[in-house]
């Protein structure tokens, strides 16, 4: 059995607790906030208060999906976890190309350099810098997942990045998370990685509930062993919570309840302590009862936040 690697150390999976599998607790000011002002989350006390609200509601763990060089603040994540008592699984890897200035090192580094960076952050510790210049300042907090982002067009650049992420996953045993954009080809990415020796059971496809309308695609990926991470909760511009519950209930009825993860994918505008709406306790307080009313038994729904993350977020060959 592997371990779940958090910023405070590796955990026995059964100790992870109730986990949101895709959130954003801190995003530095920079290119991401220029693209979307809601993608600036940089007040430690407000993020801490949000995590304390979550813990008081019953939450115990969060995956922070902001990768290296794109607004992540590894030391802040370490402090937030220590102060709140909430386990935080941090990410290495890469995000959408629109979140990087054209002179960013992510465009000039080759596959070997990127692979080595991701593997180092997973095995030994993340870098505290990397937004404005190549990462150089090390800290002791390890990443626990590899974040990637799948856009509509494949380019030599994205091919290089996905190859590096897949190589780092093979080398370290860490899980791969994929931000999926509408109109992209998640099955093609699964083919790409599987051809390079990546076990589909290490692949977690995020936002599929709003990015891919055809449930057959979800089911085919699950049959290969991949997991779905659903987070279109309290996001009325995409669909209602009732529709979200239908999607989850349908996948559960099809036999894939053991391959579902969930979260809120919060931004500044969705965090109560930043003056927004929804808040991290929303699933515990509001969505889970709705899911039960949609026909998903309470013990099955609990798996999406406890048993499934404890299994799917494991690193099977952890570093020292």
When pLDDT is cut at 50, 70 and 90, the band that residue 1 belongs to is: confident
Average pLDDT, integer, range 263-282: 97
At 16-51, the pLDDT tens digits run: 999 999 999 999 999 999 999 999 999 999 999 999
Residue 147 parent element (H or E): strand 145-150
Instruction: Say if residue 74's pLDDT is above 60.
Output: yes
pLDDT for the residue numbered 319: 42
Average pLDDT, integer, range 223-252: 97
Distances (CA, A) of 130 to 67, 114, 237, 243, 312: 10, 13, 33, 39, 28
Q: Position of tokens 């709406």?
A: 277
Residue 6 parent element (H or E): strand 4-6
**CA–CA separation, 207 vs 263, rounded Å?**
10
Count other Cβ atoms within 10 Å, centred on residue 166.
Answer: 26
pLDDT for the residue numbered 186: 98
**CA–CA separation, 154 vs 152, rounded Å?**
7
Count other Cβ atoms within 10 Å, centred on residue 139.
Answer: 17
Average pLDDT, integer, range 243-249: 97
Average pLDDT, integer, range 284-313: 95
Closest by CA to 182, choosing from 280, 114, 265, 96, is 96
The set of residues, in sequence order, having a beta carbon less than 8 Å from that of 62 and lying 6+ positions away, is 19, 20, 23, 25, 51, 54, 86, 87, 88, 89, 263, 280
When pLDDT is cut at 50, 70 and 90, the band that residue 130 belongs to is: very high
Instruction: Say if residue 68's pLDDT is above 70.
Output: yes
**CA–CA separation, 67 vs 247, rounded Å?**
28
**CA–CA separation, 111 vs 120, rounded Å?**
14
Average pLDDT, integer, range 239-253: 97
Instruction: Say if residue 95's pLDDT is above 70.
Output: yes
Mean pLDDT of the residues in the chain: 96
Instruction: Say if residue 213's pLDDT is above 60.
Output: yes
Distances (CA, A) of 306 to 26, 258, 259: 23, 11, 12
Q: Which strands, in side-by-side order, build the sheet including 61-64?
A: 19-23, 61-64, 87-89
Domains of the chain: 4-312 (3.20.20.140)
At 154-192, the pLDDT tens digits run: 999 999 999 999 999 999 999 999 999 999 999 999 999
Closest by CA to 209, choosing from 143, 282, 276, 291, is 291
Helix, strand, coil tally for the chain in percent (to 5): 45, 15, 40
Instruction: Say if residue 108's pLDDT is above 50.
Output: yes
The set of residues, in sequence order, having a beta carbon less than 8 Å from that of 163 and lying 6+ positions away, is 111, 196
**CA–CA separation, 300 vs 204, rounded Å?**
19
The set of residues, in sequence order, having a beta carbon less than 8 Å from that of 285 and lying 6+ positions away, is 57
Q: What is the CA radius of gyration of the chain?
A: 18
pLDDT for the residue numbered 141: 98
pLDDT for the residue numbered 320: 43
């Amino acid at each position: 059995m592997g371990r779940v690697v958090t910023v405070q150390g590796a955990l026995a999976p059964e100790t992870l607790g109730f986990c949101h599998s895709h959130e954003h607790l801190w995003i530095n000011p920079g290119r991401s906030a220029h693209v979307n002002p809601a993608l600036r989350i940089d007040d430690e006390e407000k993020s801490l208060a949000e995590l304390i609200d979550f813990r008081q509601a019953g939450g115990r763990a969060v995956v922070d999906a902001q990768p290296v060089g794109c607004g992540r603040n590894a030391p802040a994540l370490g402090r937030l976890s220590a102060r709140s008592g909430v386990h935080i699984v941090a990410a290495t890897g890469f995000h959408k190309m629109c979140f990087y200035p054209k002179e960013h090192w992510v465009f000039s580094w080759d596959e070997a350099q990127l692979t080595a960076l991701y593997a180092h952050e997973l095995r030994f510790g993340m870098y505290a810098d990397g937004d404005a210049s190549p990462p150089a300042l090390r800290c002791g907090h390890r990443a626990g997942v590899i974040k990637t982002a799948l856009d509509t067009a494949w380019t030599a650049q994205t091919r290089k990045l996905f190859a590096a992420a897949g190589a780092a996953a093979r080398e370290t045993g860490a899980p791969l998370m994929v931000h999926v954009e509408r109109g992209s080809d998640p099955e093609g990415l699964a083919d790409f990685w599987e051809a390079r020796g990546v076990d589909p059971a290490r692949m977690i496809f995020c936002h599929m509930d709003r990015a891919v309308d055809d449930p057959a695609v979800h089911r085919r990926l699950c049959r290969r062993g991949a997991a779905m991470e659903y987070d279109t909760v309290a996001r009325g511009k995409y669909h209602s919570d009732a529709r979200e519950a239908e999607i989850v209930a349908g996948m559960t009825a099809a036999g894939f309840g053991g391959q579902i993860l969930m979260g809120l994918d919060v931004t500044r505008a969705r965090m109560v302590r930043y003056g927004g709406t929804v808040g991290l306790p929303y699933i515990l307080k509001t969505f889970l009862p709705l899911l039960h009313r949609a026909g998903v038994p309470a013990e099955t729904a609990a798996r999406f936040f406890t048993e499934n993350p404890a299994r799917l977020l494991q690193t099977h060959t952890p570093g020292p």
